[in-house]
Structure 1
């Protein structure tokens, strides 16, 4: 057992047995009703640590004396978190080998990648702090092979070695890439097995390069498989044309030396990047392995505000409040090739932070006036921070962010979501999709919860990786934000935009789902026996009424019979389940399988 610690629970779940390097150590029994404390006083404010300089804020550059995972103490039973809001279920990702929460660690700054050849395979990377008593972190990651319903946390890619600023992507053939930085190099890890195994890392550059970001060309052009990277330095760009094995000598492109931005490829292989000054650069020839890349600055986009100051203030005192997201449209519709920019900005006036968006239809040369995506009242003085943007295969735009509007407390945020099906001209009403959390607790010797979140869109919705403190500590969560009231596997907004569904009252809900008379539901019963979860309805609703039932994000459509009754079931179910009848938020039911 050299170099590792592991934990197991007794059959009665009365004693936690902790195995160290050689001799087993028995911890005290934990009462079944007990809850852990993230600190001596779970609700006490954390001690603020002055923000460092430069931005990358590690002080502990070497591993603790014992670089194994910390003692995994927990309650009895200690399930991972499954939290459902508005029918969308957030699943905790950084869990132990039994699927339980790991106490006294911290995880933040997540990035997400999905296998385009098999979307069951999802990997999320994050900054893994094995103990909150140190800001030494590693390249943590979690793997799911069932579209995010369950997760495995194998540990860190390079145990005992510093790793920060994780960025993940997958190429067109399903190869996963994980980029991470140390204070002496920038590393790239590759997995050809959907995250189950990883190759030894490739050194991209033998120097510290803060806030790196990269993308992979997934087109069918000459640049297919190319990797492009930007970072904070005078020479702020590099490229690989052989799948990340070798890299060109870094070169200067006309972005800021600390871009803190993102980089993307359009359907024709054109490369775009942006920085925190909302400058956009473009290269037509970076895709050609036989040419030296040439970039030109096409525009400085007016997003109706400035990049929020760093450090970020109330919600994230030692970190950023924003990252500029540049994205391109790969759909086959009229918006194909569009370039989009979204960022949380500091607008003029009383508002502290708004999510704003702009579009270019001419390869970044000109941009539309910016649009405010969050729909709270102007001047409400709420923080809409960590705005993130992704584009669906249909061309639908998905946006998510942290939001303090409902709490009126700068330290208490929720996750909100909106979408657009007209290339960003208009946006849907904002929807709360995850519970409130305190962004100012659980700090691992830093006073921040990271600097960004991660998002990828699919046909049904937005796959979001984010950090929150529902356990009183910083953990990483996954939520598939998929408004799909009719259960056809497609986003409701796309159903309406394509004409598959009508929306007579223009409320964004397909007419076949609107107007569920919750008062006509006599009983909504949920039971789980022998791994089979059943949901049954008795009602006075007419025959043929369609009801959508959500089980931890897995949705089935129920058709009522002549007696107003219906049922659906799921097989091979385990663990805790929240079952919802969509449209009737007061009818949520809890069930335990196994």
Structure 2
């Protein structure tokens, strides 16, 4: 009887785990690079964004929303391009302390001749999105195309910088070394973004030997911004390092 009870319990758990799987993209061609964010004020509320083919719109940023922990999702939708003929990549999502959700992504021409990183805000939990705000364009730091991997973090500490948005980017992957890492911030809740600066600093430099140095930001509960990024400058260290700024 004990073995039968354990077997029944195992099958029940297995069935429960399988029931939690849901196909969200429902695409017929390419779908990839998904990003999932949970509302820190309501764990039943989640938003997912991904790159996916959209009819007559090339690759676009698709999204869906759940308010019941993933049991049901809003219909798939996609964010319109800034310019017809553009394509999108690399979505990231984050909530602020007021429960608003932000999406950051690239919208560009694939040869790198035009485009930018953009941020949009949603005031209804991710069902609709406000107009895009430019973060950094392909023309910045000429010849480097600093749009790749625009990862985003938002201060939710309740401190003096609450609501600040922080974004790191890197050059396009086809750009030869030396490369740099870029940092951009908004201090007005994403209404505008300041001019970019390099992520690294003397003594903690990316150096001339790291291709496409990807940086990742996060904000602690105390409001302190942390950025992890790679670097290798033999004048500073004989071995490659991961720095924490």
Please give the TM-score of this superposition, normalised by the length of structure 1.
0.30
1:357 matched residue in structure 2: none
* Structure 2 residue 192 is the aligned partner of structure 1 residue 246: yes
1:142 matched residue in structure 2: 64
Change (3 A) 1:301 1:275: closer
Q: Secondary structure at the match of 2:135?
A: strand
1:277 deviation in Å?
Answer: 5.1
- Cα deviations by residue, 1:115-150 (Å, 9 ceiling, x for unpaired): 22222221100001237xx99311111111211112
C-alpha separation between the residues in 2 aligned to 1:195 and 1:145? 10
- Cα deviations by residue, 1:365-386 (Å, 9 ceiling, x for unpaired): 9xxxxxxxxxxxxxxxxxxxxx
The one of 160, 170, 193 equivalent to 1:222 is 160
Q: What residue ranges of structure 2 are gaps of 5+ in the alignment?
A: 1-12, 109-114, 139-144, 172-179, 234-239
* Structure 2 residue 166 is the aligned partner of structure 1 residue 166: no
2:120 matched residue in structure 1: 189
Q: What residue ranges of structure 1 are gaps of 5+ in the alignment?
A: 1-83, 96-101, 280-298, 303-363, 366-594
1:177 matched residue in structure 2: 102
1:152 matched residue in structure 2: 74
- Cα deviations by residue, 1:512-559 (Å, 9 ceiling, x for unpaired): xxxxxxxxxxxxxxxxxxxxxxxxxxxxxxxxxxxxxxxxxxxxxxxx
Contact residue 171 and residue 218 of structure 1 kept, 8 A: yes
Q: Secondary structure at the match of 1:185?
A: strand
How many residues align? The count is 193
* Structure 2 residue 224 is the aligned partner of structure 1 residue 270: yes
C-alpha separation between the residues in 2 aligned to 1:245 and 1:264? 20
Q: Secondary structure at the match of 1:92?
A: coil
C-alpha separation between the residues in 1 aligned to 2:230 and 2:25? 30
Change (3 A) 1:221 1:180: same
Q: Which runs of 4+ in 1 moved over 6 A?
A: none
- State which structure, 1 or 2, has the greater radius of gyration over its C-alpha atoms: 1
C-alpha separation between the residues in 2 aligned to 1:227 and 1:148? 27
C-alpha separation between the residues in 2 aligned to 1:138 and 1:147? 25
C-alpha separation between the residues in 1 aligned to 2:57 and 2:76? 21
More helix, by proportion: 2
C-alpha separation between the residues in 1 aligned to 2:149 and 2:105? 9
The one of 109, 114, 121 equivalent to 2:45 is 121
